[in-house]
């Protein structure tokens, strides 16, 4: 007898499960229930429709109800909200939203693909008509409609995560004056602070009013406008507010049914995506996952993992047992002219886990060209990698204008295959001057990490240098090894200038016992000088990570 699978929810998790199930089993009865009117849409593309980058609204609709029914013979019911799970009876209660009719549906297997929803905290005034969240196609319609109807000129985005930054850029593109209010001291939580500072500078350069370390206390409505009162007492006037504070799993049904949840409300599943009930499975934003690196349980609401979980679940439901092996959290976002990507763990997470830099992990931060420097159009890439002393890669972050995604994908792939920093040195990657350099930036990350592990080089971070310049000037020499013309354009305060080509003849001007912070444009010449000094009895030569290119990118006024 053919089995019956009922799927609650569409988009990445539900729609992918349904279509894969049909490809695996032509006889299975498949019912998909969606309380909204769209079963599969490109929610990651919604901000770009608001900014008119994506011109056609229909381009956002990945799969229609009609296509799902005709191509895959799936019983799709939009406008049908599941109001209760009845696990003991293997049934659910469903409400037809148009008619109000309530009916029961039985199942052999039930899939929860209920996703997540934007967090909307109980802040006074938060339910005003000009305060929006962006999560669905109707949300997009509401925001675009409001801007056009009211000729909105100013917008405030609350929260500096993925959607917040994408909305800031696209509202700016739509002609609005944009502010971002972020409670933390940085935007983009997956990044470490020094990398986020590069984004801060770009946001400000693009006339975004960036307010960090401040939260919303209350929304006030005055003469059709909104005044936002911040925790600091500061007030901002605006026409439009976008809430992008975070998301929470839509796990109310699972909770009411007594399924196991974690502290954040995520549905607990095993490696085969089965919940605590043997006939109920779950995928996507609603579930707790294992972090691939730390092996700890966490929540990572991303479309990529949701699609992979859905495919694996369909295999499990059709007799091909397949395990989901965890999530790396690989992500990329466009912020004006910069691309920003991350994978794995960052330093903040490691410190929360009780790990210490230089003891439990090391970091390599380098600046490289996106392709051969002599070929037109090369731009800078800032790459940061976190790794252990035995070479295990814990995480990475990359910022640049070109080639960010392919470098991050390469790093994420090596991590997924349990590769090490030593494997990065051996990667044979496609090279021609328009695309890369003979030593790709990812190779260079491996070379630098290998040199650090082998004791060939020590680095000093930009903030360490700043701190030493304030406190330990007697024990510090800042050595500029750039050429004369470069020094005229920029130099670190208090630095001694000895160009790379003169270091052997002039090293007598340096104290062998002091810490020598060496810098050049990106660090290559500084590394060579550090090697010369080390082999001539100098105790503490250190290369400034990323050179002055990265040092200048830091907004030290924050």
Phi, psi of 324 (to 5 degrees): -90, 125
Distance between CA atoms of residues 312 and 238, nearest Å: 46
The DSSP call for residue 507 is G
> Contact at 8 Å (CB) between 42 and 140?
no
Please enumerate, as own/partner, the contacts of 358-364 that have beta carbons within 8 Å and a separation of 24 or more.
Answer: 360/388, 361/386, 361/387, 361/388, 361/389, 361/394, 362/386, 362/387, 362/388, 362/389, 362/449, 362/452, 362/453, 363/387, 363/461, 363/545, 364/445, 364/448, 364/449, 364/452, 364/459, 364/545
Distance between CA atoms of residues 351 and 469, nearest Å: 25
The DSSP call for residue 10 is -
Residue 94 is inside which H or E element, if any? strand 91-96
> Contact at 8 Å (CB) between 458 and 542?
yes
Which residues have a Cβ under 8 Å from the Cβ of 186 and sit 6 or more positions away?
Answer: 160, 193, 196, 197, 200, 212
What string of H, E and C letters represents the secondary structure of 213-272?
CCCEEEEEEECCEEEEEECCCCEEEECEEEECCCEEECCHHHHHCCCCECCCCCECCCCC
**Between vectors from CA 251 to CA 267 and to CA 34, what angle results, nearest 5°?**
120
Residue 308 is inside which H or E element, if any? helix 303-317
Distance between CA atoms of residues 167 and 47, nearest Å: 5
The two three-digit tokens of residue 92, written as one number: 């659910």
Q: What residues are annotated to the active site?
A: 44
Distance between CA atoms of residues 125 and 227, nearest Å: 10
């Amino acid at each position: 007898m053919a089995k019956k699978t009922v799927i609650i929810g569409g988009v990445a998790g539900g729609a992918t499960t349904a279509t894969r199930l049909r490809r695996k089993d032509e006889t299975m009865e498949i019912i998909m229930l969606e309380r909204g009117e769209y079963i599969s849409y490109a929610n990651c593309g919604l901000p770009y429709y608001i900014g008119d980058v994506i011109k056609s609204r229909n381009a956002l609709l990945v799969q229609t109800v009609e296509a799902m029914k005709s191509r895959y013979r799936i019983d799709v019911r939009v406008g049908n909200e599941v109001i209760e799970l009845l696990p003991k009876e293997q049934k659910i209660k469903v409400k037809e939203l148009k008619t109000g009719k309530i009916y029961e549906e039985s199942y052999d297997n039930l899939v929860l693909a209920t996703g997540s929803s934007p967090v909307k905290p109980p802040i006074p005034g938060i339910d005003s008509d000009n305060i929006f969240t962006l999560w669905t196609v109707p949300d997009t319609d509401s925001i675009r409609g409001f801007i056009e109807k009211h000729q909105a000129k100013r917008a405030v985005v609350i929260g500096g995560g993925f959607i917040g930054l994408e909305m800031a850029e696209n509202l700016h593109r739509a002609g609005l004056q944009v502010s971002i209010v972020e409670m933390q001291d940085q935007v983009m939580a997956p990044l470490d602070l020094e990398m986020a500072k590069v984004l801060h500078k770009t946001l400000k350069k693009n006339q975004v009013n960036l307010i960090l370390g401040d939260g919303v206390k209350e929304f006030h409505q005055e003469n059709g406008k909104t005044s936002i009162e911040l925790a600091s007492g500061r007030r901002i006037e605006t026409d439009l507010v976008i809430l992008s504070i975070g998301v929470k799993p839509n796990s109310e049904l699972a909770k009411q049914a007594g399924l196991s949840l974690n502290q954040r409300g995520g549905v607990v599943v095993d490696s085969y995506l089965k919940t605590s009930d043997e006939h109920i499975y779950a995928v996507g934003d609603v579930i707790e996952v294992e972090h691939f690196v730390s092996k700890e349980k966490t929540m990572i609401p991303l479309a990529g993992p949701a699609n992979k979980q859905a495919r694996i679940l369909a295999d499990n439901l059709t007799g091909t047992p397949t395990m989901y092996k965890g999530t790396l959290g690989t992500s990329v976002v466009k912020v004006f002219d910069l691309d920003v990507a991350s994978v794995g763990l960052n330093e903040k997470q490691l410190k929360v886990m009780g790990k210490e830099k230089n003891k439990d992990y090391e970091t390599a931060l380098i600046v490289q060209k996106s392709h051969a420097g002599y070929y037109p159009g090369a731009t800078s890439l800032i790459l940061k990698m976190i790794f252990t002393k035995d070479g295990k890669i814990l995480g990475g972050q990359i910022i640049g204008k070109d080639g960010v995604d392919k470098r991050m994908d390469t790093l994420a792939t090596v991590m997924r295959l349990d590769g090490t920093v030593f494997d990065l040195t051996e990667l044979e990657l496609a090279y021609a001057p328009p695309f890369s350099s003979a030593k790709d930036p990812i190779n260079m990350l491996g070379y630098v990490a290998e040199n650090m592990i082998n004791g060939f080089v020590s680095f000093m971070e930009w903030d360490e240098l700043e701190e030493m310049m304030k406190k330990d000037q007697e024990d510090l020499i800042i050595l500029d090894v750039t050429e004369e013309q470069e020094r005229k354009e920029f130099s670190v305060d208090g630095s001694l200038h000895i160009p790379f080509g003169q270091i052997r003849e002039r090293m007598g001007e340096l104290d062998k016992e002091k810490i020598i912070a060496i810098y050049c444009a990106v660090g290559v010449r500084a590394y060579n000088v550090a090697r010369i000094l080390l082999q001539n009895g100098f105790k503490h030569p250190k290369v400034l990570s990323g050179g002055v290119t990265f040092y200048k990118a830091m907004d030290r006024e924050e």
